[in-house]
Structure 1
Amino acid sequence: MDKSVPQIGQIAKVLRGRDPGEYAVIIGIVDTRFVLLADGDKRKFDSPKKKNLNHLQIQNAISSEVESSIRETGRVTNAKLRFAIAHFVDRLRVEAQEKGE
């Protein structure tokens, strides 16, 4: 598991909890152990999920739209969160097809 420092706008895969296998975007960093996640759908920006980093698989993808929006205005639209996750999942699917899985 990658123990690098999580960043705002980074995609994370939930490993444990109510939504295992779901993807969400890191919209806040609480401390060295916890981050705030939202997916724009079940978990809106205004009520993010506080999640232990040990229960997440941090992905290498960072959504620049989400990151810059939070940096500039302190918030991001739920539509942008949904778009960032959909874009990431589509890219994963294309990469898997190219590998012939």
Structure 2
Amino acid sequence: MHLDKIRPGQVVLSTAGRDCGNFYIIYRVINDRYVEVVDGQHRRIENPKKKNVRHLKFLNYRFPDEGKLSNPEIRKFLKSFAEKGEELDG
């Protein structure tokens, strides 16, 4: 995956590991292979999870305001996103 396609604030779905099936928001791009993700609950901004980009499905959704990432806002956004049952083929 190229760095120009990976952006902080992008919604991703974990496709491997114990967290398979969980939605996250990219918090930081480490390099071409790894990113840090947060969900605002189990993986908070203070302790993001390092994930291999090969283990993520990148969705065409972004957190509305990357500059104001906060754990409560992330939780609220991902909860509403999952409840809507948005199409994941994006």
Q: TM-score when scaled to structure 2? A: 0.85
Q: Which stretches of structure 1, 4 residues or more, deviate above 4 A after TM superposition?
A: none
Residue 87 of structure 1 and its aligned partner are, at CA, apart by 2.4
Q: Which deviates further from its counterpart, 22-31 or 77-86?
A: 77-86
Aligned residue number for residue 55 of structure 2? 55
User: CA 1:17–1:79 in 2, change beyond 3 Å: closer, same or farther?
Assistant: same
Aligned residue number for residue 67 of structure 2? 68
Q: Distance in 2 between matches of 1:18 and 1:45?
A: 19
Identical aligned residues as a percent: 29
Aligned residue number for residue 34 of structure 1? 34
Q: TM-score when scaled to structure 1? A: 0.76
Q: Hey, which of these two has a bigger chunk of helix by percent?
A: 1
1:15-51 residue CA offsets vs partner (Å, 9 max, x unmatched): 0011100001101000011110010111111000010
Gaps (5+ residues) in structure 1? 70-75, 96-101
User: CA 1:56–1:68 in 2, change beyond 3 Å: closer, same or farther?
Assistant: same
Task: Supply the RMSD in Å over aligned alpha carbons.
Answer: 1.8
Q: Distance in 2 between matches of 1:6 and 1:94?
A: 20
User: CA 1:83–1:52 in 2, change beyond 3 Å: closer, same or farther?
Assistant: same
